[in-house]
Amino acid sequence: MLRSLLEWFTRIPLEVQYLVLPLALIALLCFFPFRCKLSWLVTVLIAAAYLSILHLSGVWEMAAGYYTRFLLDLLLVTAAFFAFRKLRGKPFLPRLTPLRIAGTAVCAMLWIFLLILSVNCLRAYRYEEEPIRLQFPFRNGTFLINDGGDGTISSLVNYHYQDEQNTRLGYSRAERYANDIVELDVWGFEGRHFGRERRLEDYHIYDEVVHSPCDAVLSTVHEVYPDIQPNTAVTDTGTGVAIRTGDVYVMLWHLKKGSILVRPGDTVHAGDPLGRIGNSGITQTPHLHIHAARVHFLYGVGVPVVYDDKNPVKNRIMRVSTDGSGG
């Protein structure tokens, strides 16, 4: 039931999820004639819980811009403050009727549902085992962790583990802590046309150099399939590399055919260039897929990662300079 509800909600256009619905809740606070403080409080809690979910799990870079969410937070706080001021002299509880009791119960259940989703997102950010420490694989730019966290706890922050296709292909366990990484512009968008990109070149990360995240030996190089256009049908398994450091394999995928600079058996050091970002394989838009696993890079057991001692949780910004340092 819960999964079906979430799947239905994800079919709603992103602009509606991230702009129309939050602005509707903010407008409700501004203009609805609340008769008691309880009604105001319930509305504020639902709006805050909804924005919390969007903060933790939304793909703002695809539709409204990463930084827009902070403006919505400010609008919500402002609207809640002025709505409360208009409630001077109003009681906290309304005169109870069966209809009001039922309405309040429904709103409370909605708030609890949103709160549980938020808590699960936060729980997914914690690792129960020692992570492998990697260097961030890009240089000179502002990058966003598009997926990150423990996918066994919340598919909202990391869909890979619970994805039906990954489960069918046997990739799920290895991708438990997988990351997808995109690049942002100053407005917080991943592309040049504010979510209306049509060409691969419209995405800021396309053709960016991918650097080795650690000292390692090349285990696998898969360079057969060319790029596919954005948001088209998947036709192949894609292009990428897998490197081995100790007993851990690190997979870096969705690279551009013809760009890979290494071959199986090569030794690489952290920071060495491996190839360039493309859009091949199980992907809709250009990004880097990276995960670590023991036993096998596709069919093994996932290992959590950190980049330069920073936990790559979903919607975390990674700013890096030319020399690879960042924050």
**Model confidence pLDDT, tens digit, residues 9-55:** 778 889 999 999 999 999 999 999 998 898 999 999 999 999 999 99
pTM of the model: 0.92
Please give the mean pLDDT across all residues of the chain.
92
CB 216 within 8 A of CB 250: yes
Q: Tell me what the mean pLDDT of segment 216-239 comes to.
A: 91
- Residue 288's pLDDT band, with cuts at 50, 70 and 90, is very high
Q: What whole-number distance in Å separates Cα of residue 24 and Cα of residue 19?
A: 8
Give pLDDT, residue 272. 97
Q: Which residues does residue 180 pair with via DSSP β-bridges, in sequence order? A: 147, 289
Give pLDDT, residue 234. 84
Flag the least confident range among 86-90, 98-102, 134-138.
Answer: 98-102
Domains of the chain listed by start with CATH number: 2-123 (no CATH), 132-320 (2.70.70.10)
Angstrom distances, CA of residue 38 to CA of 20, 26, 240: 25, 17, 55
Q: Which helix (H) or strand (E) holds 147?
A: strand 141-147
- When comparing pLDDT for 108 and 326, which is higher? 108
Number of helices followed by number of strands (H, E) in the chain: 7, 13
CB 198 within 8 A of CB 252: no
Report which of 109, 179, 178 is spatially closest to residue 144, judged by C-alpha positions. 179
- Assess whether pLDDT exceeds 70 at residue 2: no
Q: What whole-number distance in Å separates Cα of residue 271 and Cα of residue 287?
A: 19
Give pLDDT, residue 245. 96
Instruction: Calculate what percentage of the chain has a pLDDT beyond 70.
Output: 96
Q: Which two tokens stand for residue 96?
A: 């109870």
Give pLDDT, residue 325. 52
Instruction: Calculate what percentage of the chain has a pLDDT beyond 90.
Output: 78
Q: At what angle do helices 68-85 and 37-57 cross, to 10 degrees?
A: 170
Q: What whole-number distance in Å separates Cα of residue 188 and Cα of residue 60?
A: 8
Count how many residues are written for the chain.
Answer: 327
**Model confidence pLDDT, tens digit, residues 122-137:** 999 998 889 999 999 9
Report which of 10, 43, 15, 41 is spatially closest to residue 27, judged by C-alpha positions. 43
Q: At what angle do helices 37-57 and 21-31 cross, to 10 degrees?
A: 160
**Model confidence pLDDT, tens digit, residues 298-317:** 999 999 999 998 999 999 99
> Left (φ > 0), alpha (ψ -120 to 50) or beta: where does 130 sit?
beta
Give pLDDT, residue 327. 57
- CA dihedral of 151, 157, 162, 167, whole degrees rounded to 10: -80
- When comparing pLDDT for 195 and 270, which is higher? 270
- Assess whether pLDDT exceeds 60 at residue 1: no
Give pLDDT, residue 75. 97
What is the bridge-based pairing of β-strands 216-222 and 301-303?
Answer: unpaired
**Model confidence pLDDT, tens digit, residues 147-167:** 999 999 999 999 999 999 899
Q: What whole-number distance in Å separates Cα of residue 176 and Cα of residue 146?
A: 15
